[in-house]
Amino acid sequence: MIACKTIGLVLLSALAPAAAQAGASNGSSALALSAIVGELSPQTSPYDKKLLAAYFSGRADAPHAKNLRIAVKADAIDCRAGNVDITSRACELTFGSKKVELRGRKANELYATLIENGVVAEGAAGSSHASITALDCSVDADEVAEKAGGGARCAYNP
């Protein structure tokens, strides 16, 4: 009887759909993703965009308010790079009801940064595709200023 229950549980677990594993990154990769997405986000203030740009340009000593934490969020990011039409690069970012489209070099920068942050690219008819949902990044300005490798964290769903 126990053997039948065990076999039944094994079969049931094999047939159950696998839950999507959440992704996460930190450090320089997360800072790059925060800066690129934050620049485009309507929820990121102009002050925070300027500070993220300074950090992404290598200026960890940029002046900031004490205890400042910058949140960067996006509902979805979907990037494609052509492997047949090798000139094709495009990304679409969704922030609530607002959509932002990128093409060319900016799209390639975001696509490569997603890969750097652990997003797995998948092949599709004529293109490679990398996408995430529920991006949630946090940049701690005081920690970034310490230049000790920390201060930026991102989480997302594949």
* pLDDT tens-place string over residues 59-90: 999 999 999 999 999 999 999 999 899 999 99
| Angle formed by the axes of helices 104-116 and 28-40, nearest 10° | 140
Locate all alpha helices (DSSP H) within the chain, ordered by sequence. Answer: 2-15, 28-40, 46-56, 104-116, 141-145
Each residue of 117-151: pLDDT tens digit? 999 999 877 889 999 999 999 999 999 999 999 99
Residue 28 sits at φ, ψ, to 5 deg, of -65, -35
User: Residue 76 is which amino acid?
Assistant: A
Name the residue ranges covered by the structural domains of the chain. Answer: 22-157
Contact 135, 77 (CB under 8 A): yes
The rounded distance, in Å, linking the Cα atoms of 77 and 80 is: 10
pTM for the model: 0.85
